[in-house]
Amino acid sequence: MEAEVAEAVAAAVAAGVEPFPSVEKCDASGREAHAVAADLEGTLLRSRSAFPYYALVAFECGGVPRLAFLLLLAPLAAAARPAAWRVFSACARRRAVVTSAPRVMAEPFVLGCLGADAVAGTELATWRGRFTGMVDGRRGVLVGRRKAQAVAEMFDGGEMPDVGLGDRRSDYPFMSLCKEAYIVPRSPATTEEEAVPMDKLPRRVIFHDGRLAHRPTPLAALLTVLWFPVGFALACVRIAAGALLPMPLVYYAFWALGVRVVVRGAPPRAAERATGRRGVLFACSHRTLLDPIFLSAALGRPVAAVTYSLSRLSEFLSPIRTVRLTRDRARDAAMIGELLGEGDLAICPEGTTCREPFLLRFSALFAELTDDVVPVAMEARMGMFHGTTARGWKGMDPFYFFMNPSPAYVVTFLGKLPPEHTCGGGGRSSHEVANYIQRLIAATLSYECTSLTRKDKYRALAGNDGVVDSATGKIPPPETGKKEKGC
């Protein structure tokens, strides 16, 4: 039977006729008991080009030199397509994906975000436990008949998939094994196809790492390579201005150097020791380690900040006082209380940064220590580089943020917390107060609240709890033998 199908497909191709109907003609209803096998690039993903994925790996592993080298070799959108996703997601019995890309690159996204059950891709050779970047010679690049062999192996020689999805001739061999097969036509060059919304995927992307904030197409990668030395020099100037100038002037210096600082709401006045009034605690959402600095720039005065992890370099360059928390609840509570007695204080209850429009769970400790709480919604805008990292050297975070051509921070003061929503005045529990502030900031930013924590982030991205080595500024290497799925 399979041989007959293959012959029919070959005859149709020879005659210049498309052997498979368009995916638009596939009825996706009632397929809960069906299995599907689908190609990745151009079928489930909108773009056929694999360059952005290799460019991202090249930049993260080797920096600008390796990215430039990849660009020299380049002459020799990464979201699911609605039509293909409609069929792929409907087949619930088993979902298999085949790709010519290295399996190690595609597998986390395909399993974690697309909800696939199995992934077959090009296998890379290893040497002493590390990938060499060379293709494993025993299997070669997964194209053509090798894809058909991979599909047969994933279904263990048993009943073949009910539906096959592909977008090019090299997919025909594995599509011919399926009971039904549909081609996903290329979108016209003049048409911008909309992606499937993230909330329609089995698992939304909340945690991800990497320095590049844009999709590194060949043109974007070239611009990144050309901008990098200019951006680094500009970042040094911006950091020097923030570190050396008096805080009332930092706001204007940032604007003059192309860093936009937008202030919304009415910030409170500074606490005066002569009056005996304790300082205000600013509870901020956490986007980068620069949150307290931009808060101080918006206020026009330095505000001390407490932090769980900070590299020695960032601590040295900081224009404000930073105090390390110990993760000992009693000691940290005493320390925060002492700092509030000296003046205003900034704290980020999330404990770590999140890039996507989500807020992680707020720690409740701060709510037990004072009723003078001002929620602050922080929003960082970066167009080229992310100013955060989970696996890299955190000492470079401020440099990468300021290397963006026109970075921006929006600081929104939400007013002092009403007495009825505090622990002392309103009799609320500290967890109720923390959750209320989380919801308030989320509503202001149009973000979504989650119960995810700092440990969830670092275990998903790095396989550890995210404790920074104070001497090196780096996070310890992932634990071997453990594998965690991202969120």
- In 3-state terms, what secondary structure has residue 345? strand
pLDDT of residue 11: 61
Strands 35-39 and 163-166, by their bridges, are parallel
**Which pLDDT value is given to residue 60?**
87
Is 482 inside any structural domain? no
**In a shared domain, residues 281 and 352:** yes
Looking at residue 409, which CATH number applies to its domain? Answer: 3.40.1130
Q: Are strands 94-102 and 118-122 parallel, antiparallel or unpaired?
A: parallel
CATH label of the domain that carries residue 169: 3.40.50.1000
Together in a domain, 86 and 133: yes
Asked if residue 94 is part of any domain, the answer here is yes
Q: Are residues 270 and 154 in the same domain?
A: no
286 found inside a domain: yes
Domain contains 17: yes
Would you say residue 51 lies in a domain?
no
For residue 112, the enclosing domain spans 2-45+80-200
- Residue-wise pLDDT tens digits, 270-302: 766 555 678 899 999 999 999 999 999 999 999
Q: What is the mean pLDDT of each run of 10 residues along the chain (487 residues)?
A: 59 66 92 94 86 87 86 64 91 93 90 91 88 83 91 85 92 92 77 74 86 91 95 97 94 96 89 68 95 96 88 88 86 91 93 93 92 95 94 91 97 94 89 96 96 90 66 52 36
Q: Are residues 274 and 165 in the same domain?
A: no
Question: Could you tell me if 190 and 235 lie in one domain?
Answer: no
- Count the domains in the chain: 2
Question: Is 167 within a domain?
Answer: yes
Q: Are residues 146 and 274 in the same domain?
A: no
- One domain, residues 183 and 313: no
Is 8 within a domain? yes
Which pLDDT value is given to residue 56? 87
Same domain, 280 and 404: yes
Of the candidates 415, 457, 456, 454, the one whose C-alpha atom is nearest the C-alpha of residue 437 is 415
Within the chain, how many helices (H) and strands (E) appear?
15, 16
**pLDDT digit string, tens, across residues 159-187:** 899 999 999 888 999 999 999 999 998 87
Same domain for 170 and 252: no
* 347 and 232 belong to one structural domain: yes
> Residue 325 in 3-state DSSP?
coil
pLDDT for 74: 61
Query: Is residue 205 in some structural domain?
Result: no
Distance CA 13, CA 185 (A): 16
Per DSSP, what are the bridge partners of residue 127?
130
What's the confidence (pLDDT) of residue 34? 95
Say what the pLDDT of residue 287 is.
96
Shared-domain flag, residues 176 and 300: no
- How many angstroms separate the CA atoms of 72 and 49, rounded? 16
12 and 161 both lie in a single domain: yes
CA dihedral 478, 480, 483, 487 (to 10 degrees): 0
